[in-house]
Structure formats: structure tokens, C-alpha cells
């Protein structure tokens, strides 16, 4: 940005970006390393915004739950990604949007292609389950599941589906021959 | 026996484990960065307590939020209390939950299903 034209172009981009965020009702967007500090900052920010908006206690709690599980998923799994690609290694994108009827929490992070099958089958099987099946699976995982080195217990996706009552929507987009970008979005109804 | 007193923070619960005063309680929020290292001292304390527990043990859970990783460690605490109960001691779990928080109430019911210990659900307002 060493000349005026570039600066102007950049500022115009910022305005387009802002309009685009508004159009998609995005209230929070972050790109970068997701740490525990970031998790605490975003959850407390969203919490105080929801309190200001007089959101019901139940909705506030559900959004909080989903945000924590999504952020911790990324912070615990981002370094499973083995590529040294500086654009994606250890990083991710995190978005919160708020519409008239619902909140959405969306995460994106790079994964090795050999994890796609495992993730897909896990998400699909959770999506197929009804309330009671999810409850039984959660209890089983708590009892039998071991805490991984990174402190995960394999319970995050199950909890999100249980708390939101909606399917986990996801998508994989190719980055290279070996890696893909994994996007996951969870929706919390505001009238539930 | 040593007393454990941990002040609560925005991501870790307040913990009081005091054998002499018969006060065993965990309250607040639990989403520590490293759940295992947070809960290890608590589980170790319970192991020691199990060797010579009080005539009556009441353990109070008064959490307003816990993440999934913590849920596993809470079950570990409950299973230690179950062992103390199985050894023939009087043990009661009191699961306090905000009266408008169905999820927290249900979480208590689920734990009560898993462990075999007298379990009381205690709603509170505010």
C-alpha cells in the first residue's frame, strides 16, 4: 500500500466487507489462532451483547455452549493439521451471526484429507440420532471415552446437536491434493 | 486432612473441600483450558478422603455452566463418591440448578442415572 490508489482500493474493499457482513448479519468475525484467551474474550463479548439485547436465559446459555464447544474444537484440533502451509496451519475462522429468528455459530479450519471420512461419518451418525439416542451416546462416551491428550472427550458435536436440536451443517472445500477446509455451522433458534 | 479452597474465575469453578467443616462443594463455571490439571487435585483429595470419610458426606454441585470436557471429570468425581458409598458410607449428592435451566436439571438427572448414589435435585431461583 505505498500509493494512494492502493490505499483507496483497500478502503473500498473494507467498506464492501462491512456491507457484506451486514448483509449476512455477522456480529463477530475472527481469523487467526484460536486460543483459550480468545475463547474467553469472544464468549464474554457475545454474552454481554445478548444480555443487552434482553435475549432469554435459555438462548444465552445455548449460544454460550455452542460457542465454547466450537472454539475449543478448533483450538484443540487445529494443530492436528500436519501441513506447514502458513496460510492455514494452526488457524481458523470463527463467525457469529444474528438474524431475526436465530443465531449461527460457524467455524472453519484446515484438515488433512484423511480425516474427512472420520469426521463425515461422525457428523452424519450424530445427525441421524434422535434425542434419546443422543442422550445415550453422550452418557456412553462420558463413561467409556478417555480424555485425549488435548483434553477433548469426543463429546462436543453430540452436545451441540443436543443443545440446538438441529442438524450440524458442514462442508469440505478442497485446499490442495492433501488438505481441505472444514466448515461447520450450528444454529440456535431465538424463540426456543 | 488438608483443605482445598479454590476461588472461582470466569472459566474455573469455586471449589471447597473441607473435611473438618463437612463442606464439599463445587460451584460456578467450568471450562478450564486444561481440565485434567484443574480436576486432578480434586480427585486426589477425594481418594484420600475415601480412606476415612466423615459419618455423613454431602457433596454439593452448584454449577451454572460446564463444557463437555468438564462433564467427563464431573463424572469422575461422582464415581469416586459412588465408591465411598459402596464401601458402606452415608453419601448424598446435591445437584443444585437454576430453576429455569432445564439443561442443567437434565444433566443432573443423567448423572443420577449413571452413578448409584443417593441424588437430590435442588432447584434455586435467581
* pLDDT tens-digit map of B42-87: 999 999 999 999 999 999 999 999 999 999 999 999 999 999 999 9
- pLDDT confidence of residue A85: 63
Task: Kindly list the residues of chain B whose beta carbon comes within 8 Å of any beta carbon in chain A.
Answer: 10-11, 31, 33-36, 65, 67-69, 71-73, 75, 98, 100-103, 110, 113-114
User: Which three cell numbers, joined as nine digits, stand for B84?
Assistant: 465411598
Taking the CB of residue A27, how many other CB atoms lie within 10 A of it? Answer: 16
Task: Count H helices and E strands in chain A, helices first.
Answer: 6, 5
pLDDT at A89 over 90: no
- What residues does each domain of chain A span? 4-189
Task: To the nearest 10°, report the CA torsion of A95, A98, A102, A107.
Answer: 0
Question: In the 8-state DSSP scheme, what is residue B96?
Answer: E
Taking the CB of residue A190, how many other CB atoms lie within 10 A of it? Answer: 18
Q: Which region holds residue A191: left if phi is over 0, alpha if psi is between -120 and 50, else beta?
A: alpha
* pLDDT tens-digit map of A22-57: 999 999 999 998 889 999 999 999 999 999 999 999
List chain A residues with CB under 8 Å of B11.
36, 40
For residues A148-168, average pLDDT:
82
Task: Count H helices and E strands in chain B, helices first.
Answer: 3, 6
- pLDDT confidence of residue B18: 97
For residues A136-152, average pLDDT:
76
| Mutation target among B67, B100, B115 for the A interface, most CBs of A within 10 A | B67
- pLDDT confidence of residue A145: 73
- pLDDT confidence of residue A192: 62
For residues A165-179, average pLDDT:
94
CATH topology of domain B4-124: Transcription Regulator spoIIAA (3.30.750)
Task: To the nearest 10°, report the CA torsion of B113, A137, B15, B77.
Answer: 60
Q: Mention the CATH class of domain A4-189.
A: alpha beta
Amino acid at each position: 500500500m505505498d500509493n494512494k490508489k492502493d490505499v483507496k482500493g483497500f478502503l473500498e474493499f473494507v467498506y464492501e466487507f462491512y456491507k457484506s457482513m451486514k448483509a449476512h448479519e455477522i456480529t463477530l468475525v475472527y481469523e487467526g489462532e484460536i486460543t483459550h484467551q480468545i475463547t474467553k474474550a469472544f464468549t464474554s463479548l457475545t454474552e454481554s451483547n445478548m444480555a443487552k439485547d434482553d435475549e432469554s436465559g435459555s438462548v444465552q446459555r445455548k449460544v454460550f455452549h455452542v460457542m465454547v464447544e466450537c472454539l475449543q474444537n478448533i483450538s484443540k484440533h487445529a494443530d492436528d493439521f500436519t501441513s506447514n502451509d502458513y496460510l492455514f496451519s494452526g488457524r481458523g475462522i470463527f463467525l457469529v451471526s444474528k438474524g431475526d429468528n436465530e443465531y449461527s455459530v460457524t467455524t472453519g479450519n484446515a484438515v488433512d484429507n484423511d480425516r474427512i471420512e472420520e469426521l463425515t461419518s461422525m457428523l452424519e451418525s450424530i445427525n441421524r440420532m434422535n434425542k434419546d439416542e443422543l442422550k445415550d451416546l453422550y452418557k456412553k462416551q462420558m463413561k467409556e471415552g478417555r480424555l485425549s491428550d488435548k483434553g477433548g472427550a469426543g463429546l462436543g458435536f453430540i452436545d451441540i446437536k443436543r443443545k440446538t436440536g438441529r442438524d450440524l451443517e458442514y462442508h469440505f472445500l478442497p485446499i490442495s491434493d492433501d488438505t481441505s477446509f472444514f466448515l461447520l455451522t450450528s444454529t440456535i433458534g431465538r424463540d426456543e | 486432612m488438608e483443605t482445598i479452597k479454590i476461588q472461582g474465575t470466569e472459566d474455573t469453578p469455586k471449589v471447597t473441600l473441607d473435611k473438618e467443616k463437612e463442606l464439599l462443594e463445587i460451584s460456578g463455571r467450568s471450562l478450564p483450558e486444561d481440565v485434567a490439571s484443574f480436576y486432578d487435585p480434586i480427585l486426589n483429595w477425594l481418594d484420600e478422603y475415601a480412606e476415612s470419610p466423615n459419618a455423613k458426606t454431602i457433596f454439593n454441585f452448584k454449577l451454572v455452566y460446564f463444557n463437555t470436557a468438564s462433564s467427563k471429570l464431573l463424572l469422575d468425581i461422582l464415581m469416586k463418591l459412588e465408591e465411598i458409598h459402596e464401601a458402606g458410607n452415608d453419601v448424598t449428592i446435591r445437584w443444585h440448578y437454576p430453576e429455569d435451566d432445564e439443561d442443567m436439571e437434565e444433566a443432573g438427572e443423567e448423572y443420577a442415572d449413571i452413578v448409584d448414589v443417593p441424588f437430590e435435585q435442588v432447584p434455586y431461583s435467581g
